[in-house]
Chain A
Amino acid sequence: MAGQATLLVTDDLRRSRLTVFFRLLLALPHIVWLILWTIAAVLAAIASWVATLVAGQPPETLHRFLSAFTRYSVQIAAYLFMAANPYPGFTGEPGYPVEAELPERGRQARWKTALRAVLALPAVLVTAAIGSGAIGGGGGRSGEADWGFALSSGGLVAVCGFLGWFAALALGRMPNGLRDLAAYGIGYTAQTYSYLLLLTDRYPNADPEKVGPAWSLPPHAIGLEVDDDGTRSRLTVFFRFLLALPHFVWLSLWSVAAILAAFVNGIHALIRGRSARPLHRFLVAYVRYSAHVTAFVTLVGGRFPGFTGEPGYPVDVTTPDLERQSRWVTFFRGILVLPAFLVSGGYAGALFVVGFLGWLAALVTGRMPTGLQTLGVVSVRYLAQTNAYWLIVTDVYPYASPALRPPADEPELEVEPELDPELDGPEHDRPELDRGVTG
């Protein structure tokens, strides 16, 4: 069995404002070239499919050609969507800052080869949600490679590229979280293409740690703790949406109250520089409850959640105690949150796919696939962070990266630092509350 495609990232986040501004125009020759190359790659993939069916492994020449194509498409996507800065070459040679490390040629199971196009459908769906439109080019109307293009034009990577363009233009560097998220989407797409183009018979894995490097998770006021073994009752899976109906009703009612509370809380935070304690408690419970319901509906969490947003659900949000918040950030919160809403939309799309595919898989196997669940966990965390941000629970901006844990050399925090309950001091260091995700 061949190995899995993975992503190497050596990008230093710095961006040239000039090339950022003209990025799409600069990429045009590559896009044209990629379209031509895609046509050849589709024909090569068909030839490789026949040969692999007969011989049990793809021919060396075709494997090399399709590897180069996949590597090239990763480079173009990375360039187009701001995950990397240098202008890529046209031959798919290794050495780019965002690079697909592709498996060596190896034997592949014939039945997997025969059914490849069908088996790949779930991965193509996930790619559509988190992948990039550029990969695979696309302009033709047939062939496996085009599905990804057709389905992924609005994926998370595109959102990262759009937001990253503004950020890089303003700052001269790409925000780390957005870069990591874009790289993750590109990496997953590379896995899907490796699978579709018969470079490997290893199925794409949506687990961020299986896609790319060890993305690092910086401290954040809102984290997620997971204590779920992935087993699911088929009965509750089958009726999951109906079982969630009372939660939908309750969440809708609670949302109305939360919006009103956030408005009052915002005024309080503007005047006093921090949330009002009762409103903070109320909104924290709402953020937690919303995450519980989202996790339950999308099968990221297995058990039926409670209605009060109490801690203890297997996919649970860690929330901050009352903390001082910047008045400037509070005042402009409604505008500042817009990019986070965009990314949230992308993550919500990913969650929809996670829920749909997870539903099918759990119905058959009684388990939630780990990769999908992890993608779901990352998505739920981001949605919770966005909720907490716009509801004035915290002024820490949502972190878009699919990272699961803090960097290895930074020990996880076990105990929350004690806070002065009245927060009377002139300055407060931001407490490092995030304990990351435990998978």
Chain B
Amino acid sequence: MLAAWSLWQTRVPDGLRLPQLETDGLFRPTELERAESYARFLRLDFLASQLVLLVVLALYAWRGARFTRESAAGRIGTGMLLGMIGLALVWLSQVPFRLAETWWDRRYDQTDAGYLETLFANWFALGAEFLFICLALLIVMALAGRWQRRWWIAAAPFFVGLVALFSFIAPYLSPTESADAALRADNRRFADAQGTEPPRISVEDVSEFTDAPNAYAAGFGPTRRVVLWSTLLDGRFSDDEVELVLAHEVAHHSRNHILEGLAWYALFALPGAWLIAVATCRRGGMRSPAAVPLSLFVLVGLQLASSPLQNAISRHQEEEADWVALQTTRDPGAAKQLFEKFTTLALSDPDPPAWSEQLLGSHPSVLERIEFAEAWRTRSR
């Protein structure tokens, strides 16, 4: 609890009062209607996909052990096979929803991607997931073979280490190009202002897949990097707006959000692994391949159940990054324009329903972010 309290602390002033703005005053009715309509379908698509996912995994947990007859491998190899089959079923079950999402995105001019591309463009990533689940099951089943029901005590540090490794190398997993000199200069300036070493900055060309703007911070230590999507630099956003995005991403590094995320993961890994161990006891525990389908169901169920908490933590970090970015650029006007464009260009619902915010909101809503910028302006006068 102490660790959680410590991780929850941010630079956002306590008791910050946000002004109560109305979306009607910020956007034209047609813009609002378009963004809300777009987001409404995607929310339904998400709900249906999660429901189907749970049903499929529940059925797999119930009957999946029969796939052991497809294996001539030993205990762990068979477990790997069942894990991969589980992923395969998950992928299959999500195909209609991905297609529906693509159809909707195309309808609203959010992507040029074709349907076949949607299905098959990510096979490389799917292959990586297959390999990852094999590695995870290798660790878990080997530990369960050694320590039986107490495998989770040893497994949690393993997985924290593994996630740390992936976080460390993540910047190298996507092809990027180096940013231009102006962006590099801004990056250095903002890092100095935030009291941190400048991370590397690069641009990822996503124009073939989407028109949505985005940026992210990845890596830690020597691999720290800020990546801007090419869609952010295609002329639709002013220099001031791009600078605010850059300052926001640098803030993720200066406030150590990647490492904080790892620490949060470490806090949840132990109880999560314990719950899986308890749930699979009646199937012979994670030592037995027959328990793998059930463990997948429990894992996905836990992830879904904990998503409100995960999203709350993520929103908290994003708020802090927004705050630090405003402190750095001192330009709330650019922030307001930028967030408004998230609605007018990327069709982000400015004020989504509360349940959607809980389940899907990794960032504060557009309205909240504009209110946040206004609060900063008021406070800085």
Interface residues of A (CB under 8 A from B): 233, 235-236, 238-239, 242-243, 245-246, 249, 292, 301-308, 310, 312-314
Residue B24, interface by CB 8 Å:
no
Residue from A301, A306, A310, A314 with most neighbouring chain B CB atoms (10 Å): A306
B195 interface residue per 8 A CB criterion: no
Partner among B69, B74, B76, B130 whose Cβ is within 8 Å of the Cβ of A243: B130
The answer to whether A239 touches B73, judged by C-beta atoms less than 8 angstroms apart, is no
A363 CB to closest chain B CB, in angstroms? 13
Complex contacts, B69 vs chain A, CB 8 Å: 303
Instruction: Establish whether residues A313 and B126, one from each chain, have CB atoms under 8 Å apart when the complex forms.
Output: no
Closest B residue to A232 using CB positions: B70
The answer to whether A314 and B72 touch across the interface, beta carbons within 8 angstroms, is: yes
Asked, given contacts A239-B88, A246-B80, whether A306 binds B130 with beta carbons under 8 Å apart, the answer is no
Residues of chain A contacted by B67 (CB below 8 angstroms): 233, 235-236
A304 and B127 alpha carbons, distance in the complex (Å): 17
Contact A305 B127 (CB under 8 A): no
Among the listed B72, B74, B76, B126, which residue makes an inter-chain contact with A303, where contact means beta carbons less than 8 Å apart?
A: B72
State how many angstroms separate the Cβ of B69 from the closest Cβ of chain A. 8
CA distance A239 to B127 in the complex (A): 10
Interface size class of B (residues with CB under 8 A): 20 to 34
- C-alpha gap A283/B247 in the complex (Å): 57
B72 touching A245, Cβ below 8 Å? no
- Decide if B78 touches A304 in the complex (CB within 8 Å): yes
Binding site for A on B (CB under 8 A): 67, 69-74, 76-78, 80-81, 84-85, 88-89, 123, 126-127, 130-131, 134
Most buried by B among A245, A304, A313: A304
Partner of B84 from the list A233, A242, A305, A308 (CB cut-off 8 Å) is A242
Q: Are A239 and B77 in contact (CB under 8 A)?
A: no
Select which of A242, A303, A312 is within 8 A of B88 by beta carbon: A242
Instruction: Give complex CA distance A236, B92 in Å.
Output: 12
Q: Which residues of B contact A303 (CB under 8 A)?
A: 69-73
| Residue in chain B with minimal CB distance to A313 | B72
A144 to B84, CA, bound (A): 42
**Which 9 pairs show the lowest CB-CB distances between chains A and B?**
A306-B73, A303-B72, A304-B71, A246-B134, A304-B81, A239-B88, A306-B77, A313-B72, A242-B130
Which of A243, A292, A301, A310 meets B81, CB within 8 Å?
A243
- Report whether B127 and A242 are in contact in the complex, using a CB–CB cutoff of 8 Å: yes
* Measured CA separation A201–B81 after assembly (Å): 41
Answer whether A302 and B70 are a contact pair too, CB < 8 Å, given A236-B85, A238-B88: yes
Question: 10 new A-B pairs (CB below 8 Å) besides A238-B88, A243-B88, A303-B72?
Answer: A235-B89, A239-B84, A242-B130, A243-B85, A246-B84, A303-B70, A304-B70, A307-B77, A310-B74, A313-B72
Name B129's closest neighbour in chain A (CB-CB).
A242
Task: Tell me whether A235 and B131 are in contact (CB under 8 A).
Answer: no
Decide: A235 and B85 in contact? CB cutoff 8 A: yes
Q: Which residue of A lies closest to B76 (CB)?
A: A307
Q: Check B131–A245 contact: CB distance below 8 A.
A: yes
A243 to B72, CA, bound (A): 14
